[in-house]
Each structure stands twice: as structure tokens, then as C-alpha cells.
Amino acid sequence: MRRLFVAISIAFFLIQPCSAAAMQRYDMEGAVMRALERNPSVESARHSAAAAESARQAARSSFGPTAAATYGYDRYNKDRPSRAEHGAASLTVRLSQPLFTGFQLLNTYQKARLQAESQQLQLEARRLSIVLQVQQAFLAHIRAQESIRSGRRSLERARSQLAMAKTAWQIGLKPRLDMLQAEVEVARAEAALISHENERDVCRTRLNTLLDLPPAEPVEYLGRLDIRPFSRTLEQCLAFALEHRPDLLLARKSAEIAGKDLGIVRGSFWPQVSAVLGWTTSGSRLDASGGKYAKKDYAYANVGLTLSWTLFTSGRRLHLTQQARHQVDAMEAAVRDAVNNSAYAVRSCLITAQDSYRTVKVAEKAVVSARESYENARMRYEEVQTGTYLELLTAQSSLSDAELAEISARAECLLALARLYEAMGELHPGLQEGRTLP
């Protein structure tokens, strides 16, 4: 029995490191890269882009010739009057090459090409959106972890003060009120710690969902709220955004597509010309190769031109042309609106990021002052016996609030930087200035 227990213990300790090593770990950059590869919405946009590319290739194939074969066979109940045969078969092969379509084929292909490029831009927009969502959830998770560490320090200080107040009350040096206030402070610290732990678990579930992992999957997300520098000016940010923002590029593509639609409608006013090459064989048998009375000259070839021109449509083409022209004007106005919105988004995000950097500096100074104030109040209460317990509780609460404020300021600063990159249309998985994705 003892040997069995020892064997089970050894197996447990051998398996435990393997399971721990099997736990997935991601920093911010790794989490973003997995989301870009496995997130279902990104995968859906990727397939849509591939479908649009196939549509472009199909539109390009319209420039080439088309071949069609037609076969028919009829069986009569008696000999036909013209010949004593019960069957009649015919096989026709027809090759058609469009020569002139009023530029409809060209405009249709160019429209398909622009739609393929638009789908690619929508994929880039989805990638940008997913990157921002992952970074937001990741920063919220790291902020919750840092808040948990701060909450544990606050709880440790509160419990130390409770033990000190209880000892002082038992020996008659301090009133019972100090002990009761210390117990209330411990309860507050425990409640705050529970809240931070709950926030961390929620953020972890959100990250798992974005990374296409089971919600309850035990994943370790590693990172710190270290501030990343950003040195570009507003003019540089605006110039980059005007060239790379997917929504702005999409608006421009939509205007170009509207122009191609106008060209397609205008092409309906022109004639359609095609070259035709055909070959036909007929007969009374299934192979359509002559019959009893047609042993030769049963097959023939033909070549020619076909012209089709619609002359009158009761004003339909005119109204469709006006509709397409108005659509072009609407898309051009949408481009101007997208430019204005892009400029506003970049400027507001840059201002927020710059203010966030200054807020972090202020929060750091506040933590230093609050920590010094707490140490001073604790020394006056414990050693000098001149301070009140209310002063100590106030200093301890101020220190906890200052630490949480610094954590929030750092997280908001990084979040503002992530939003600025998203507003510029630039992919930075780890929020590092020199590392981007193509």
C-alpha cells in the first residue's frame, strides 16, 4: 500500500509541471497576433476578401471568348414529308468573342477590382478593430492585476493596524473605537480586493473570447503598465492617417465604384458588337452525321458579326444615368466627410494621449507624497503617540487611492495610445513605436 502511495505521489509531481507548462501564456503582442490569426470576425473578413478577389477574376474572364454547344434530337412517329426518316439530330458549336460593349465590360471589371480592394480594406479595418479590442481587454486585465497587488498591500496594512489597535485596546492604551475603525478598514480592503479579482476574471474571459479560446480556459496574460513613448507631431499623424485609414480609403473606393456604375449605365446607350464562329452538323441518327438521303454536306461552318443596339427604353436609361450621377456626388461628399472625421479623430486622440502622459506624472508624484504621509502618520501614531487613529486611517486610505489612481492613469495612457494608433490606421501589436504590422 505504501509503494502504491509513493508511485501515485511521484506520478502527481511528474504530471503537475507538465500541466503547468501546458498553460498558454501571452503578452500583449502575442495576444494580438493570435487574435489576428484566429478571431472568427477576422477570418470572416478574410474569406470575404478572397471571395471578392474571385469575383474580380470572373469579371476579367468576360473579356475572353465563350464557347457553347447545343444538341437536339427529335423522333417522329412516322416519316417526315420531306424525307423518309423518323429521326432528326442537330449539333451546333458556337464561339463568341465580344468586340465592343460600350465600355461596359471594362467598367464592370474595374468595378469588380475596386470591390476586391474595398473588401481588402474592410479586412484591414476589421484587423484594426480587433487589435484595439484585444489591447483594451488586455490593459483592463493588467490594470486589474496591478489593482489586486495594490489591494493586497492595502489589506496587509489594514490587518497590521487592526492587530496593533486590538493589542493597544487589550492593554488599555487605546480606546475600543480604534479597533472598530480598524475592523471596518479591513472589511473595506477585502471588499475592494474581491472587486478587483472579479474584474480580472471578467477581462480574462473577454480576452479568451477574442483569441478564440474557451471562456474558462486557464490562460496567463503577462504584462506591465509601462509607458510607451510617442514623439510624432499632429501633422505627421494626420498625413499618415490620410494615407492609411481604412475607412477613408473605403470612402474613396466607394466613390470610384460609383463612377464605374455610371460608366456601366452610360454603356447601355452604345451598340453591342461580337464576333461569332460556329459549326453545325445534322442528320437522322444520334451522332448527327448525315442520314440516308444526306450522306455529304451535312456539316457546315459559319463566321460573322452580331450587332445589338437598344434604341428606346421609355426614358429608363436616362433616369438610371441620373441616379448613378447623383450617387457619384453622394460618394464624393462622403469622402469629404470621412476626411473631416479622420482629422477630428486623430487630433482628439493625440490630445488625449498627451494629457494622459501628464496625468501619469502627476499620479506618480501623488503616490510618493501619499506614501510619505502614511509613513509619517504611522510613526506619529505608533511611536511618538501624538497622532490620532483617524489621521492614520486617512493617510492609509489616501495611499491606497493614490496607488489605484496611478494604475488607472497608466492604463488610460496606454489605452489612449492604442486608440491613437487605431485612429491613424496603424497596427502596433505591443504598442511599441518601432514595431508595426504590414
Residue 129 has pLDDT above 80, yes or no: yes
pLDDT at res. 435: 54
Looking at every residue in the chain, the average pLDDT score rounds to 86
Q: What 3 state SS string does the chain have?
A: CHHHHHHHHHHHHHHHHHHHHHCCEECHHHHHHHHHHHCHHHHHHHHHHHHHHHHHHHHHHCCCCEEEEEEEEEECCCCCCCCCCCEEEEEEEEEEEEEECCCHHHHHHHHHHHHHHHHHHHHHHHHHHHHHHHHHHHHHHHHHHHHHHHHHHHHHHHHHHHHHHHHHHHCCCCCHHHHHHHHHHHHHHHHHHHHHHHHHHHHHHHHHHHCCCCCCCCCEECCCCCCCCCCCCHHHHHHHHHHHCHHHHHHHHHHHHHHHHHHHHHHCCCCEEEEEEEEEEEECCCCCCECCCCCCCCEEEEEEEEEECCCCCCCHHHHHHHHHHHHHHHHHHHHHHHHHHHHHHHHHHHHHHHHHHHHHHHHHHHHHHHHHHHHHHHHHHHHHCCCCHHHHHHHHHHHHHHHHHHHHHHHHHHHHHHHHHHHHCCCCCCCCCCCCCC
Residue 14 has pLDDT above 60, yes or no: no
More confident residue, 175 or 358: 358
Residue 369 has pLDDT above 60, yes or no: yes
pTM for the full model?
Answer: 0.81
Would you kindly state where each structural domain of the chain is located, as residue ranges? 24-62+101-271+309-424, 71-98+272-308
Look at the chain and count its residues: 438
Single-letter amino acid, residue 60: R
Residue 359 has pLDDT above 80, yes or no: yes
Summarize pLDDT for 210-253 with one digit per residue, the tens.
999 999 889 999 999 998 888 889 999 999 999 999 989 999 98
Find the range with the poorest average confidence among 2-6, 41-45, 102-106, 163-167.
2-6
Residue 313 has pLDDT above 60, yes or no: yes
Span 24-62+101-271+309-424: which CATH code?
A: 1.20.1600.10
Summarize pLDDT for 347-357 with one digit per residue, the tens.
999 999 999 99
